[in-house]
């Protein structure tokens, strides 16, 4: 062999040796118990934030053994036996994920007396932690041509003054806002204030730079960030801009250009998806993100990624496991709900190919996509799940949706990735309006408000929600601070009830009657009403058809006839 050949062979050996030195195998290691833990159920502040404890207290949820941290002695013993490093850990499932240089090392882990099982979930030829992604090699979201900014932007003072629904205020997000009557919640002053939403995705590259995120960044409403793939708190310039576009549907606040669904909420941003491969370890990243969101005190989790197939040598998820309670991420979504979190999950873009998990989860509010006309988007994934549960729950505009794009631009992009966070944001506004609600109450109200709730379909689920109707279902009072007349109704149009608002100088009887356009009396009643601005619920007769009606109201020597429009 020539010297050139010998050198080439040596270089090959060195390269192979270097790759082997960097390679990592990912294993889930499950433990038998949490015996002799230094933590107690009576002192949860040692492992949960006060915000997380308060969320449980408000909903009457007890801290339990799943909340206790994994034993540090078990973690350290496992790392020593395996010559591995810690990737993520799970309190709820009493397990960790380790990265080890050789599969042969796992035998020593299996022999540990406190290990109940191990499971191979991933392989990285060049290692994983502390390896920043090369953005040139990462797929970016598919975005269409940028949308033109509305000419109304020039009328800045009018835009800033406008806080109610109009295309002048919402700009590019107007159509998808009116589709679900979400501007009703904004009109009432509910824009997500005080709500914490955790967003799980694959990258948030242009969040620091886009004008739509100016108020979010300046007001420091991003409370926490973490990349569970690379084990770093830095999430920008890593991965794609997909997560930034997802976040924008909720958090953007650029009146005249784009206003998101909960522009005043607080956020935790987590990267859980690895774009370079599709392996089961990513579901463990999701579990870690869910648990971090729980311990931080998140109210809502929005996840626009999901799983059903994996790269070789890992098996795809069988359809029988998409039954709402079997995959690790479905279990985690259900557990999150039991701990007081509303879990909003994508149905996926598989069309008739089925759901992604955790979109199959029993407790998840699963979201599909429709086009601008309200018809099912052909690629929107749907069930029912393997147990027969209707999935998706609801749909909104995602085929395509209007979203934020790099370089301070706005565009359209299709996917349930973008319909899902819209619903998460509107749910945050709804929860802000009714702090005593539970996740199941919110999900039930949203499902029931949807337009085909009484006749759900395979693709639409219960349909397109109406958030004014959802507010009515939860008996959220309409906010009226001043009145032009001593008696009025709000909201108007009405649905299944009327809220009569009166402003009496002295307490007294108020008589009201509802008539149709022909003058036929449909109901008549008298109630004692206190002085000042007061609301009185008026039950609408069952089966009242959509149309125009009149509520005639009298008290003392005052009388007024109020036109009411019935919808739905």
Q: How many CB atoms lie within 10 A of CB 17?
A: 10
Overall pTM > 0.85: no
Q: Which of 124, 123, 114 is nearest to 94 (CA)?
A: 114
Do the Cβ atoms of 28 and 115 come closer than 8 Å?
no
| Residue-level pLDDT at 540 | 83
Do the Cβ atoms of 364 and 356 come closer than 8 Å?
no
Question: CA-to-CA distance for 425 and 418, rounded, in angstroms?
Answer: 11
- DSSP summary character for residue 184: H
| Residue-level pLDDT at 248 | 98
Q: Which of 328, 334, 443, 330 is nearest to 394 (CA)?
A: 443
Query: Which residue's entry shows tokens 């197939």?
Result: 309
Question: CA-to-CA distance for 160 and 152, rounded, in angstroms?
Answer: 11
Classify the C-alpha dihedral 365-371-375-376 as positive or negative.
negative
For 554, the enclosing helix (H) or strand (E) is strand 547-555
- DSSP summary character for residue 216: H
Per-residue pLDDT of the chain (568 residues; tens, 9 = 90+): 444 444 344 333 333 344 455 899 999 999 999 999 999 999 999 999 999 999 999 999 999 999 999 999 999 999 999 999 999 999 999 999 999 999 999 999 999 999 999 999 999 999 988 555 433 333 333 333 344 443 333 333 333 333 445 788 999 999 999 999 999 899 888 999 999 999 999 999 999 999 999 999 999 999 999 999 999 998 997 778 999 999 999 999 999 999 999 999 999 999 999 999 999 999 999 999 999 999 999 999 999 999 999 999 999 999 999 999 999 999 999 999 999 999 999 999 999 999 999 999 999 999 999 999 999 999 999 999 999 999 999 999 999 999 999 999 999 999 999 999 999 999 999 999 999 999 999 999 999 999 999 999 999 999 999 999 999 899 888 776 566 789 988 778 887 778 888 888 888 999 999 999 999 999 999 988 877 777 788 888 888 888 899 999 999 999 999 998 887 6
Do the Cβ atoms of 462 and 393 come closer than 8 Å?
yes
Helix, strand, coil: what percent of the chain each, to 5? 30, 25, 45
249 Rama class: left (phi>0) / alpha (psi -120 to 50) / beta: alpha
- Count, in order, helices (H) and strands (E) of the chain: 15, 22
Query: Which residue's entry shows tokens 């569970």?
Result: 228
- CATH architecture for the domain at 487-566: Sandwich (2.60)
Question: CA-to-CA distance for 503 and 505, rounded, in angstroms?
Answer: 7
| Residue-level pLDDT at 441 | 98
Q: What's the 3-state SS for 438-480? A: CHHHHHHHHHHHCCCCCCCECCCECCCCCHHHHHHHCCCCCCC
Domain ranges in the chain?
A: 23-124, 161-473, 487-566
The contacts of residue 211 (CB under 8 Å, 6+ apart) are 254, 257, 408
For 385, the enclosing helix (H) or strand (E) is none
Task: Count the alpha carbons within 13 Å of 540 in the hemisphere toward its beta carbon.
Answer: 23
CATH topology of domain 161-473: Rossmann fold (3.40.50)
How many residues appear in the chain?
A: 568
CATH of 23-124, one of 3.30.70.80, 3.40.50.150, 3.40.190.10, 3.30.1280.10: 3.30.70.80
> Tokens at residue 446, please?
């949203």
For 151, counting Cβ atoms within 10 Å of its Cβ (0-12 exposed, 13-18 middle, 19+ buried), the class is exposed
Classify each residue of 456-471 as buried b or exposed e, where b means 16 or more C-beta atoms within 10 Å of its C-beta. beebbbbbbbbbbbbb
Do the Cβ atoms of 407 and 400 come closer than 8 Å?
no
């Amino acid at each position: 062999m020539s010297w050139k050949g010998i050198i080439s062979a040596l270089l090959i050996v060195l390269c192979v040796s270097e790759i082997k030195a960097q390679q990592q195998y990912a294993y889930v290691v499950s433990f038998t118990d949490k015996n002799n833990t230094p933590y107690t159920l009576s002192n949860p502040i040692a492992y949960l934030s006060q915000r997380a404890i308060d969320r449980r207290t408000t909903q009457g949820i007890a801290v339990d053994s799943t909340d206790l941290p994994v034993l540090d002695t078990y973690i350290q013993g496992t790392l020593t036996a395996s010559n591995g490093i810690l990737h993520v850990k799970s309190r709820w499932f009493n397990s960790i994920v380790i990265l080890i240089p050789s599969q042969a090392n796992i035998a020593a882990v299996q022999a540990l007396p406190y290990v109940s099982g191990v499971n191979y979930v991933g392989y990285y030829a060049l290692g994983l932690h502390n390896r920043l992604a090369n953005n040139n090699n990462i797929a970016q979201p598919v975005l269409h041509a940028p949308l033109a900014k509305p000419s109304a932007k020039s009328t800045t003072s009018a835009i800033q003054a406008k806080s109610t629904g109009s295309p002048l205020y919402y700009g590019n997000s107007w159509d998808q806002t009116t589709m679900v009557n979400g501007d009703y919640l904004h009109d009432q002053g509910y824009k997500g204030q005080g709500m914490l939403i955790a967003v799980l995705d694959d990258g948030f590259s242009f969040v620091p730079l886009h004008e739509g995120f100016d108020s979010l960044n300046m007001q420091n409403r991003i409370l926490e960030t973490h990349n569970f793939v690379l084990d770093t708190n830095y999430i920008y310039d890593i991965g794609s801009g997909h997560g930034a576009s997802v976040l924008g549907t909720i958090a953007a606040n650029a009146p005249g250009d784009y206003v998101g669904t909960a522009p005043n909420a607080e956020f935790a941003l987590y990267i859980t998806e690895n774009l370079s491969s599709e392996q089961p370890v990513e579901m463990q990243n999701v579990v870690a993100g869910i648990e971090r969101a729980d311990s931080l005190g998140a109210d809502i989790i929005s996840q626009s990624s999901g799983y059903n197939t994996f790269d070789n040598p890992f098996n795809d998820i069988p359809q029988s496991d998409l039954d709402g309670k079997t995959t690790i991420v479905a279990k985690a979504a259900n557990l999150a709900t039991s701990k007081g979190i509303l879990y909003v999950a994508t149905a996926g873009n598989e069309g008739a190919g089925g759901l992604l998990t955790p979109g199959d989860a029993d407790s998840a509010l699963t979201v599909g996509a429709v086009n601008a006309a309200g018809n099912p988007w052909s690629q929107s994934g749907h069930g029912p799940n393997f147990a027969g549960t209707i999935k998706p729950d609801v749909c909104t505009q995602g085929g395509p949706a209007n979203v934020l794009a790099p370089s301070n631009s706005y565009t359209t992009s299709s996917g349930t990735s973008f319909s899902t966070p819209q619903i998460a944001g509107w749910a945050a506004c709804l929860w802000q309006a009714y702090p005593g609600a539970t996740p199941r109450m919110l999900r039930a109200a949203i499902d029931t408000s949807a337009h085909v709730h009484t006749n759900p379909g395979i693709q639409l689920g219960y349909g397109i929600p109406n958030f004014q109707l959802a507010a009515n279902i939860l008996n959220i009072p309409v906010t009226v601070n001043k009145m032009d007349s001593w008696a009025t109704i709000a909201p108007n149009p009405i649905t299944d009830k009327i809220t009569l608002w009166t402003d009496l100088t002295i307490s007294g009887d108020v008589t009201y009657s509802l008539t149709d356009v022909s003058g036929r009396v449909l109901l008549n009643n008298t109630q004692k009403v206190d002085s000042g601005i007061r609301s009185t619920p008026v039950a609408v007769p069952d089966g009242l058809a959509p149309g125009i009606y009149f509520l005639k109201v009298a008290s003392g020597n005052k009388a007024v006839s109020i036109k009411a429009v019935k919808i739905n």
